[in-house]
């Protein structure tokens, strides 16, 4: 019994600052993304050259919230509708080809909203603005419809974070059935940090890395728009910011972030093309190890400081 | 000496064994962790704990005797032992060890009359599946049957006494549990007769990397929950329904929810024409109809235990909450210090 009481006492948040995360990280981040997506959709031109800077700005803004995959982001697959990647079967492009062949008049907002998540969002726009081959039809209408749809989802996400942020802020209060204790809110945010680092290591770096014998630079994220390396850098920056908001007193974790960020910024390999040669591959693998070391540091330092761990069952395959 | 031993054995077998009614009539069994203590709880339909006994380590609640207040908990893998817990006293009534060279593999099922316990097992060296048979009078080993596949995990007794076996298809290293055959694994769902003869078998062509691991009875069908060992970016069904003799139905989520379970199903339960499949890794559960149509996706961190009570679902999570789950959402029933383990067993 004594053991249980001590464990409960330790479970009280020591330095958790859910309020700081919601108010300085999540809400401003989603507001900035909504604004960037709105500006992209507001451009009248169909010229890819005119649209690309706003596309890049919207993508940058998304990278600063993409790791916050809870609540409004997971419900109705909103985050997937913004950023469906990876798409190993190419289902997004298949669906887009059909849309390109269709009558532009059918590309209404409702029709776009009912499209598969694979055919929408930033990767879909990227395929239209940075086509790998000549497009089978004039993409103008589909480009605008996709950008408008993205702006709508971004606006919905931003609006939904008002209510969901309140749920995080009132964790443990009567009537809050989403977060039954303050610790649950802290754990949810801590999980986003750890999962976010896993996504960087396993997907953003791991997919182009492949194996030493079979590197796959062709699988790099946002390769067409030249963002593969930038996405790694920006997600690490965003996750570092989340760490600071959760607990600024995390020296080991922040040092691990700085090492990984230094390696990521020094790569000078925007599309991870150099994964194809042995030296480039090793550099990318060293970066992957540094990101995994950052995850381990967060688990060892930040988790105990916040009084939370990862899921009891999520960590235990059965 | 011999006589004394005989008397002791006789005394043990004559000790009155309590029924579930005598330990508070729990509706559910769940293992949990409270601080550093591992426990097994009997829970009412509303999530109240009616008994709580200590477990010597983390174990999954796996099977409850149909009448006697006895539960079987399996040690986590590699499964060198299982414990029969006397739920009245918390005492370890029996400690079961598989024969030399075999390991328990996570689940067990009692015969309807409670006279026999069946356990999923593997030959440690090869992962070849066995169903171990135990006489529950004194939990003596009776023998074993081939499970008709590699790595059997969950087993469920059908109303007529046949046994459904989820052969996960994965060959693992006997010591460190490394998965050894992912590129060419072949899971199956097998039906065995009451004497262990194979009656029917189902394989999912084209989805061989989807390990069939957990089972629930859904009317005349068997709901099978799967764990995807292929490319995690590929969205594949985590649930299927099979009526022996017919083609299986795959339960495909809406595209926007297709990755919600992260390729991993932790538990499955079925009632009232619906099936729920949970994923602690995804922090989500999806409810499907018996024709395979998705009805709802529910979100809650570390959700895993799932059981059917009457026509509703009860689910548990690793944060300590117990919920009623339906298409309209999760309703909290109770919460406390016990972090609930993988499975929730309906009595």
pLDDT score for B222: 98
A222 HSE (CA, 13 A, CB side):
25
B230 phi and psi angles, rounded to 5 deg? -90, -160
pLDDT for B199-253, tens place per residue? 999 999 889 999 999 999 999 999 999 999 999 999 999 999 999 999 999 999 9
pLDDT for A17-31, tens place per residue? 899 999 999 999 999
- CA nearest neighbour of B103 among B73, B82, B72: B82
pLDDT for A236-252, tens place per residue? 999 999 999 999 999 99
Instruction: Name residues 255-274 of chain B within 8 A of A (Cβ).
Output: 255-257, 259-260, 264, 266
Can you tell me the distance from the alpha carbon of B347 to that of B87, in angstroms, rounded to the nearest whole number?
13
pLDDT score for B1: 39
Question: Hey, are the CB atoms on B35 and A74 less than 8 Å from each other?
Answer: no
Tell me how far the alpha carbon of residue B110 is from its chain's centroid.
Answer: 12
Pick B302's closest partner by Cβ from A6, A202, A312: A312
pLDDT at B76 over 80: no
Compute the residue count for chain A. 318
Share of chain A above pLDDT 70, in %: 95
3-class secondary structure, B179:
strand
DSSP assignment of A246-300 equals H-S--HHHHHHHHHHHHHHHHT--TT-GGGGSHHHHHHHHHHHHHHHHHHHHIII
Share of chain A above pLDDT 90, in %: 92
Mutation pick from A71, A313, A314, A316 vs chain B, by most beta carbons of B within 10 Å, is A313
Pick B302's closest partner by Cβ from A118, A180, A313: A313
Give the mean model confidence (pLDDT) for residues A58-76. Answer: 96
- CA nearest neighbour of A276 among A227, A187, A221, A210: A210
Q: What is the DSSP letter of A226?
A: T
Q: What is the pTM of this model?
A: 0.92
pLDDT score for B58: 84
The interface predicted TM-score (ipTM) is 0.90
Find the Cα–Cα–Cα–Cα dihedral A50, A55, A58, A63, rounded to 10°: -150
Give every CB contact of residue A134 below 8 A, 6+ residues apart in sequence.
Answer: none
Pick A313's closest partner by Cβ from B213, B280, B299: B280
3-class secondary structure, A234:
helix
Mutation pick from B57, B212, B256, B267 vs chain A, by most beta carbons of A within 10 Å, is B256
3-state helix, strand, coil in chain B (%, to 5): 5, 55, 40
pLDDT for A128-160, tens place per residue? 999 988 999 999 999 999 999 999 999 999 999
Question: Hey, are the CB atoms on A77 and B255 less than 8 Å from each other?
Answer: yes
pLDDT score for A14: 31
pLDDT at B46 over 80: yes
């Amino acid at each position: 019994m004594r053991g249980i009481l001590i464990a409960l006492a330790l479970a009280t948040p020591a330095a958790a600052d859910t309020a700081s995360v919601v108010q300085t990280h999540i809400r401003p981040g989603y507001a900035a993304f909504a604004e960037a997506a709105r500006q992209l959709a507001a451009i009248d031109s169909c010229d890819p050259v005119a649209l690309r800077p706003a596309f890049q700005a919207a993508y940058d803004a998304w990278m600063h919230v993409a790791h916050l995959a809870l609540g409004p982001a997971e419900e109705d697959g909103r985050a997937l509708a913004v950023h469906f990647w990876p798409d190993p079967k190419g289902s997004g492009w298949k669906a887009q080809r059909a849309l390109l062949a269709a009558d532009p008049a059918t590309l209404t907002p409702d029709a776009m909203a009912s499209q598969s998540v694979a055919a929408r969002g930033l990767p879909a726009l990227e395929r239209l603005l940075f086509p790998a081959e000549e497009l089978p039809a004039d993409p103008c209408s589909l480009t605008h419809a996709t950008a408008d749809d993205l702006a709508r989802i971004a606006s919905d996400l931003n609006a939904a974070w008002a209510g969901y942020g309140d749920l995080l802020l009132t964790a443990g209060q009567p009537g809050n059935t989403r977060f039954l204790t303050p610790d649950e809110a802290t754990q949810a945010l801590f999980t986003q940090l750890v999962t976010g680092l896993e996504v960087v290591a396993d997907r953003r770096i791991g997919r182009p890395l492949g194996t030493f014998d079979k590197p796959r630079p062709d699988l790099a994220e946002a390769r067409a728009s030249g963002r593969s390396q930038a996405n790694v850098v920006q997600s690490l920056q965003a996750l570092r910011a989340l760490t600071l908001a959760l607990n600024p007193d995390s020296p080991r974790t922040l040092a691990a972030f700085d090492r990984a960020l230094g390696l990521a910024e020094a790569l000078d390999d925007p599309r991870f093309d150099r994964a194809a040669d042995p030296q480039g591959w090793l550099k990318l693998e060293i970066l992957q190890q540094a990101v995994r070391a950052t995850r381990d540091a967060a688990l060892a330092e930040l988790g105990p400081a916040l009084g939370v761990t990862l899921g009891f069952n999520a960590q235990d395959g059965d | 000496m011999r006589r004394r031993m005989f008397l002791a054995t006789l005394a043990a077998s004559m000790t009155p064994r309590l029924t579930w009614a005598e330990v508070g009539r729990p509706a559910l069994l769940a293992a949990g962790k409270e601080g550093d203590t591992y426990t097994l709880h009997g829970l009412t339909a509303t999530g109240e704990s009616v008994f709580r006994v200590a477990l010597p380590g983390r174990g999954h609640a796996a099977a409850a005797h149909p009448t006697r207040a006895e539960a079987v908990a399996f040690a986590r893998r590699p499964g060198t032992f299982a414990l029969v817990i006397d739920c009245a006293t918390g005492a370890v009534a029996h400690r079961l060890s598989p024969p030399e060279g075999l390991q328990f593999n996570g689940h067990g099922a009692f015969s309807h009359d409670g006279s026999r316990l069946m356990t999923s097992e593997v030959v440690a060296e090869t992962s070849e599946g066995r169903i171990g048979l135990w006489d529950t009078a004194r939990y003596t080993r009776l023998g074993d049957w081939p499970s008709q596949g590699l790595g059997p995990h969950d087993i469920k007794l059908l109303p007529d006494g046949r046994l459904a076996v989820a052969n996960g298809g994965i060959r693992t290293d006997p010591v460190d549990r490394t998965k050894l055959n992912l590129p060419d694994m072949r899971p199956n769902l097998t039906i065995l007769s009451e004497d262990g003869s194979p009656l029917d078998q189902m394989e999912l062509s084209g989805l061989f990397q989807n390990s069939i691991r957990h089972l629930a009875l859904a009317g005349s069908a068997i709901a099978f929950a799967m764990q995807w060992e292929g490319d995690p970016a590929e969205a594949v069904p985590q649930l299927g329904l099979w009526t022996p003799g017919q083609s299986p139905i795959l339960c495909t989520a809406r595209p926007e929810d297709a990755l919600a379970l992260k390729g991993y199903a932790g538990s499955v339960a079925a009632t009232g024409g619906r099936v729920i499949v949970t994923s602690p890794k995804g922090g989500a559960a999806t409810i499907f109809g018996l024709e395979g149509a998705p009805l709802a996706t529910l979100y809650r961190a570390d959700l895993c235990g799932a059981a059917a009570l009457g026509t509703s679902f009860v689910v548990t999570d690793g944060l300590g909450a117990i919920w009623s789950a339906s298409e309209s959402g999760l309703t909290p029933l109770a919460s406390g210090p016990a972090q609930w383990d993988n499975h929730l067993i309906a009595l």
